[in-house]
Amino acid sequence: MATDTTNQSEAVAREQLLDLAAEFYDQFADGAVPSMQIPTRTKSNIEYDEDAEVWVYGDRHSTRSAKTVSGAKKLLKAIYVIDFLSTQLDEDRSSTLRELYYLSESWDHEIAQFSDQNESNQLIEDLEIVSDVSREDFHMRPEESGATLMGPLQLREQTRRGERDIHCQKDVGEGGYQIPNNPDTIEFLDNDADFVLCVETGGMRDRLVENGFDDEYNTIIVHLKGQPARATRRITRRLHDELDLPVVVFTDGDPWSYRIFASVAYGSIKSAHLSEYLATPDAQYIGIQPTDIVEYDLPTDPLSDSDINALENELEDPRFQDDFWTTEIEHQLDIGKKAEQQALAARGLDFVTDEYLPSRLDEMGVI
Amino acid sequence: MTSYQSELGGRSNVAEELAESQRSISIAEFFEKNKHMLGFDSGARGLVTAVKEAVDNALDATEEAGILPDIYVSITEAGDYYRLVVEDNGPGITKEQLPKVFGKLLYGSRFHVREQKRGQQGIGISAAVLYAQLTSGKPAMITSRTDGDSDAQYFELIVDTDSNEPEISVDTTTSWERPHGTRIELEMEANMRARQQLHDYIKHTAVVNPHARIEFEEPRERLKFERVTDQLPAETEEIRPHPHGIELGSLIKLLDESASHTLSGFLQSEFTRVGQKTAESIVTAFRDRHYGRELAWKPAPAPVIESAVSDVVNNKSPDATATFAQRVAGAVSEQPRVAHHECRAIVANAADHVKSTTGSTFGSTVQGHTVEAIWELTLDGVESELTELIDEVTTARKSDETIDGMARRLVTKLNGVDRHRLTHGDIESFVERAATQTEQRDDVTFGETAQQKVIEGVWSISSTVPDDPPSVTAVSNDRDFASELLEAMRETDILAPPTDCLAPITDELVEEGLRKEFDADFYAATTRDAEVHGGDPFIVEAGIAYGGDIQSDGSIDVLRFANRVPLVYQRGACATADVITSINWRNYGLDQPGGSGTPNGPAVVLIHVASTNVPFTSESKDAIANVPEIEHEIELAIRDAARDLKRYLKKRRSLQQRKRKRNVIADILPTMAEKLADMTDQQSLMIEDSLARIMSNVLIERTTTDDGVALTVTNHTDTTTELSVTDIVSVDPGSLESATVVEMDGEWFVTWEPTVESGETARLQYDLDGDAEFDISVEGIEAEKLSVTA
């Protein structure tokens, strides 16, 4: 079943890519100037979609046109990439973003070669948006690996070497289950979970596992590994949607971590075109909140200039424009401090699993 | 003791001793000791100056005679010295004049004349002769033949430095192949260190004299400059001096020499732009200065005057007296204000009238008494009038007492003045004195501003007197009178001098000249309108040549000219250099580090100042003096030409950018098209149309069918384009309505001249039988803006 869907989406992907190429061809044939329109991917162009409850791109576009020298160069690169991707799909192969960058060096036309990986990454994102196909469906992988899962969940994964059925507590080691690059190849079979807990840092995740938190509270612990990869966000969404589980997010108490929460819950600015697919709007934020820092008298670090900048930026970020966030961010600017989630250890190693999480989860109505 | 004594009696002896050793020095002697003042300081410099003087003369003489100049200059080594020969095809010099022209300093026809001429003083060539004889001991050898003479005159002469007269050692006739002209040969100490300056001088002279043919030979090189126009420069007119441009000494001299008797006549005949009216204005101004004006006051009422007049008139019939008195009273009281001389005029008038009607004579005595009587009456009202006046002109802040005080004190002073006749200066001192006294005695302020107002107020109620101005002789003999006249001249508004005394090179010929000498990509030239400095008219011209073979590293070349003569030395001291360094050249596309100083780049800037009197910084006539009016004009002229340069550079840059863009895109687009055709598995694309649209070009495509050919011209630019499209066909297309067909060597040239508006397409077509070969050529548009697939 999954295979079929995968094959289907790949066929769709290939068709979309070739459609794009055909469009350019037609433009030439008409004697027009080849061009491509893409929505601008900045925080000034994201808006809230009421129905999907996530943040998507607005109406502002920029046009890449062959009329200018830089536009023509970009279009040439785009066409080369389209060619490459359609071949890749045809041959059922995949590659990483970094590999694409290096590959381009072998292309015959010098201008088509990428000057750095950022450029090729951006182009893949452009193509995603324009062709309405995710890069996973192009068979393009990022470097970062996705999350690990630990919890009462039985799943089936389609791999190159056949199907695998895995239980995410009994069949995995200390590290947990490593999700694949394309989590849509996973099928959920059975679960015993009450909620999903996304954790930012490896240290805190290990603490929770060591203390048996997943067992005691029937929770699936998802290790975000910092800024979560698309696969991670996708799996979180699927866990919420398909298994009907509430999702909570537990990160450090600093602006960068708030963004981590935002990308899980609201959608990221870079991939707002896939928000519907990747974001979990019902996700809730546990902490560390600035009020926690004060209440639990946690060991702190002072806010650096870039932290302050980031916080002020967030006050302008449309995704953070609600009462909860504005109050908390302003509070943090007031106290001028930040704290890691592992600082809770100052109150004892078990404080987090015995006191902090249970009482907070109770407050939030999760348990 | 002895010495003291000899000192006591010796004072006057010392003076006498000193007096004995004093003697006058001749001009020639002076020059001998001060050669550098005239450009003969070093051997190298001396040579350049000698060449300059001789060539200037040659050009002036040929132009004056209406001959196209042919000039030959040669410098050869002659033992320890150099031999300079300058030969021209001018009108020649007469036997009588020749010795003086070459052998007498400060002799020349150009000295007295206000005309645009190269040499402004006649000192030129004779100085070279003197320099040559001083350094080599050899005389100048001069040959000259005037038109019509069968033979040429040959002279060998030197300058006698004691007497400043020519000393002729040889005086004969000789045969000469030139029908007319002059040749001078000098042997002098020199060296060729100034080779570059010499070359520059000759080359630049050729640039600004495109009508001249110049040949130049020196030990190492031979240069020839052909003429590029047969048009002689416009003839210039001599003009008289302008009243605003003359000094006191020269004025007195003119007065002395003038044949005119009256000042008015003198002014009209000796100066330019002075007609009768202007002369009158000047004389009026002079009268005011010389005699002063008379203050005019309100007259007493008629009845009062009448009775006063009747009183003073004795021994006349009551009838006549009455008529007289009435007439006088009526006329006087009618005037709003009346001055003493006006009274006199009225009284004289009345006397005439009475004489003609009643026969009664009212002679000068009676008239005099009458005038006095009227004047007495008028004087009564002066104080109150003055008070009123002062009140009016000063601000409201002056108190009544202050005003009264001033008025009172002024009146006291005025009472001592006969007929209230005062000069402006008199009024000034009266008012000042009165003000000081008022300030001191009454303890109030009456400052300068207030004083000025009162002075002007009083002057405004005065009127010019009708007295005859002194005669020209009288004025010429009295320095003060002449000074007053000069001030009057300066004060009067007079039209700027006429400018037909000037012959600029003209911008076309400036450009021609630059083209001749510099192989550049761009030329610009401009001639300004005539302006005036110190009473002398002048015109500034500028030219710029850029790019091409001109050296691009290092600073730009500046060519300076005054009256068509290149200025070779003292570049830094010249006003042109100051103007050039003060302009921000970056604005016009030249590199100028720091935003000031001489700019860098492959450019030549030419400046020419033509005037009846070019002000130089020194006698060697190397650098133009910093006269504001001239500097201003130079700046405007340069900016004019520089703007053209800027436009050209901008266009060139944009064409270059276009080219670059085209190169890149012409590279990318076909690759794109090919790949797309591949990927979508369709036939390969023709991308010319897209390319033309991208480049905003004009696209020309060809379609051939069995019966004919069609060329479509599509205009993707944003302006209307006018083209000339020629299709060279190997088969005869017959005659066409919309195109011209010309046959040449078995090929037919079919030419259309379509005008295509922006965004439009034109179809050029013709019928053809069978196969043919085509070759298309397009004119009227830059290659960068054209896409052709035909």
B592-601 residue pLDDT tens: 888 788 899 8
Beta bridge partners of B532: B537
Q: Which of A330-339, B397-406, B643-652 has the lowest mean pLDDT?
A: B397-406
Same domain, A106 and A213: no
Q: What is the pLDDT of residue A251?
A: 94
Query: Is the pLDDT reported for residue B110 higher than 70?
Result: no
CATH of the domain at A130: 1.10.10.10
Q: What is the number of other CB atoms lying within 10 angstroms of the CB of residue B221?
A: 10
- Across the range B448-453, mean pLDDT stands at 85
Tell me how many domains chain B contains.
Answer: 6
Residue B326 within any structural domain of the chain: yes
**How close A79 comes to chain B (CA, Å)?**
7
If DSSP states are collapsed to H, E and C, what string results for B597-650?
Answer: CCCECCEEEEEEEEECCCCECCCCCCCECCCHHHHHHHHHHHHHHHHHHHHHHH
Tens of pLDDT along A123-140? 888 888 888 888 888 888
pTM over 0.80: no
Residue B512 in any domain: the answer is no
Residues 6+ apart with CB under 8 A from B67: B89, B90, B91
Residue A204 binned pLDDT confidence (cut-offs 50, 70, 90):
very high
A102 is catalytic: yes
Mean pLDDT of B765-774: 80
- Give the model confidence (pLDDT) of A210-227 as tens digits: 999 999 999 999 999 888
CA angle A279, A283, A288 (to 5 degrees): 120
Tell me, yes or no, whether A236 and A339 share the same domain.
yes
**How many residues in total does chain A contain?**
367
**For residue A51, is pLDDT > 90?**
no
Q: Is A71 on the interface with B (CB under 8 A)?
A: no
pLDDT of residue B654 exceeding 70: yes
Residue A46 belongs to what domain range?
2-141
Lowest mean pLDDT across A128-142, A161-175, B198-212, B638-652: A128-142
Residue A91 lies in a domain: yes
User: What was the pLDDT predicted at B10?
Assistant: 56
- For residue A201, name the pLDDT band (cuts at 50, 70, 90): very high
Residue B410 has pLDDT above 90, yes or no: no
Say whether B685 and A83 touch across the interface (CB within 8 A).
no
B437: Cβ–Cβ under 8 A, 6 or more apart, which residues? B409
Q: What is the pLDDT of residues B327-353, one digit of tens each?
A: 888 888 888 888 888 888 888 888 888
Q: Is the peptide bond before B505 cis (omega within 30 degrees of 0)?
A: no
In the predicted structure, residue B260 carries a pLDDT above the cut 60: yes
Domain end point (choices B340, B360, B379): B379
Share of chain A above pLDDT 70, in %: 98
Closest Cα in chain B, distance from residue A84 (Å) = 10
pLDDT at residue B4 in the model: 47
pLDDT digits (tens, 9 = 90+) for B470-490: 888 888 888 888 888 988 988
Split at pLDDT 50, 70, 90, the class of B517 is confident
Is residue B681 in some structural domain? no
Structural tokens at position B131: 């320099």
Is residue B43 situated within a structural domain?
yes
Q: Are A200 and A345 part of one and the same domain?
A: yes
Residue-number span of the structural domain to which B733 is assigned: 687-789
Residue B501 has pLDDT above 70, yes or no: yes
| Residue A234, both tokens | 């996708």
% of chain B with per-residue pLDDT over 70: 96
The answer to whether A235 and A181 have CB atoms below 8 angstroms apart is no
On whether both B326 and B410 belong to a single domain, the answer is: no
Q: Is residue A265 part of a domain?
A: yes
Least-confidence region, from A313-322, B132-141, B490-499: B490-499
Q: Judge if A66 and A203 occupy the same domain.
A: no
Residue A235 counted as domain residue = yes
Domain boundary among A123, A141, A159: A141
B622 and B756 both lie in a single domain = no
Q: What is the pLDDT of residue B114?
A: 65
* Residue position matching structure tokens 């060096």: A105
In 3-state terms, what secondary structure has residue B128?
helix
**What is the SS3 assignment for B460?**
helix
Closest CB to A21 among B660, B676, B693: B676
The answer to whether residue A24 neighbours chain B at the CB level (below 8 Å) is yes
Which residue in A has a C-alpha nearest to residue B679's C-alpha? A83
Contact B672 A24 (CB under 8 A): yes
Out of A25, A57, A102, A266, pick the active-site residue: A102
B134-138: average pLDDT: 89
Domain assignment present for residue A181? The answer is no
Would the pLDDT of B702 be above 80? yes
Within this chain, do residues A135 and A258 fall inside the same structural domain, yes or no?
no
Same domain, A135 and A196: no
Does A25 touch chain B if contact means CB atoms closer than 8 Å?
Answer: yes
Asked if A133 and A203 sit in the same domain, the reply is: no
What pLDDT band is residue A198 in, cutting at 50, 70 and 90?
A: very high
**What is the per-residue pLDDT across B46-59, written as a single tens digit (0 to 9) for each?**
888 889 889 988 99
> Quick one: pLDDT band at residue A1, thresholds 50, 70, 90?
very low
User: Residue B680: which of A25, A73, A80 has the nearest Cβ?
Assistant: A25
**What does the pLDDT average to over B271-293?**
88
Local confidence band at A27 (pLDDT 50, 70, 90 cut-offs)? confident
Q: Angle B489-B490-B496 (CA atoms, 0-180°, nearest 5)?
A: 95
The predicted complex's ipTM stands at 0.72
Percent of chain B with pLDDT over 90: 17
pLDDT band at B765 (very low <50, low <70, confident <90, very high): confident
Cα dihedral angle (B646, B647, B648, B651), rounded to 10 degrees? 120
Q: What's the domain count of chain A? A: 2
Q: For residues B314 and B218, state if they share a domain.
A: no
Q: Mean pLDDT across chain A, nearest whole number?
A: 88
Asked whether residue B700 is domain-assigned, the answer is: yes
Mutate to test the interface with B, among A25, A80, A83, A88 (most CBs of B within 10 A): A25
CB spacing of A27 vs B672 below 8 angstroms: no
Are A346 and A214 contained in the same domain?
yes
User: A14 pLDDT band (50/70/90 cuts)?
Assistant: confident
Return the higher-pLDDT residue of A168 and B39.
A168
Provide the 10 A C-beta neighbour count for residue B74. Answer: 16
Look over chain B and give the mean of its residue pLDDT values, rounded to a whole number.
85
Which domain-ending residue is among B169, B194, B225? B225
Which residues of chain A are within 8 Å of residue B668 when distances are taken between CB atoms? 66, 72-73, 76, 109, 111
pLDDT for A4 equals 58
DSSP A210-223: HTTHHHHHTEEEEE
Domain identity same for B54 and B81? yes
What is chain B's length? 790
Q: Which two tokens stand for residue B565?
A: 């003569």
Average pLDDT over residues B611-626: 84
Residue A84 near chain B (CB below 8 Å): no
Q: Is residue A163 part of a domain?
A: no
Residue B773: inside a domain:
yes
Q: B26-40, B154-168, B424-438 — which is least confidently predicted?
A: B26-40
Shared-domain flag, residues B415 and B370: no
| CATH, residue A270 | 3.40.1360.10
Kindly state whether residues A205 and A72 are assigned to the same domain.
no
Percent pLDDT > 90 in chain A is: 42
| Burial status of residue B497 (CB atoms within 10 A of its CB: 0-12, 13-18, 19 or more) | buried
Tens digit of pLDDT for each residue in A336-365? 999 999 999 999 999 999 999 999 999 998
* CATH code of the domain covering residue B181: 3.30.565.10
Same domain, B36 and B143: yes
Closest C-alpha among B236, B282, B726, B698 to residue B501 = B236
Write the DSSP symbol of residue B150: S
Q: Averaged over A269-298, what is the pLDDT?
A: 88
Whether A111 and B672 lie within 8 Å, measured CB to CB: no
Dihedral Cα B202, B205, B210, B212, nearest 10 deg = -60
